Amino acid sequence: MSYSVTWTERAISAGCDFLADDPEGLTQVLDATDVFGNDPRPLGAFPYGSADLLRIRVSRYRILYEIDPVAESITVLHIGRIA
């Protein structure tokens, strides 16, 4: 089963902010989210309050996303970065 991956405006905005000073890190984030289409629960992802709300660490970044199994879609809700 293949899922579609969409991004909220908040996540896009955060990604644009990070692109300016860390393009390699953002590339890692984009590569990780590309995997979600075929594997919505990759190794390292863990539930964040419910089974369909997950968080995954990618280098310095944290990605919060939600799986909608009925619509077969994934929404990237937020990207954060640790210092």
Residue range 40-69, pLDDT digits in tens: 999 999 999 999 999 999 999 999 999 999
| Predicted TM-score (pTM) of this structure | 0.91
- What was the pLDDT predicted at 66? 97
Q: How confident is the model at residue 8 (pLDDT cuts 50, 70, 90)?
A: very high
Distance CA 58, CA 43 (A): 11
Contact between 65 and 54 under an 8 Å Cβ cutoff? The reply is yes
Work out the end-to-end distance of the chain between its first and last CA atoms, rounded to an integer number of angstroms. Answer: 36
Looking at residue 39, the DSSP 8-state letter turns out to be: -
Average pLDDT, stretch 10-26?
93
The conformational region for residue 59 under phi > 0 = left, psi -120 to 50 = alpha, else beta, is: left
- Give the homologous superfamily in CATH for domain 4-81: RelE-like (3.30.2310.20)
Q: Tell me: pLDDT of 1 over 80.
A: no
Distance CA 53, CA 19 (A): 25
Domain ranges of the chain: 4-81
Q: If we measure between CA atoms, which residue out of 7, 11, 4, 6 comes closest to residue 61? A: 11
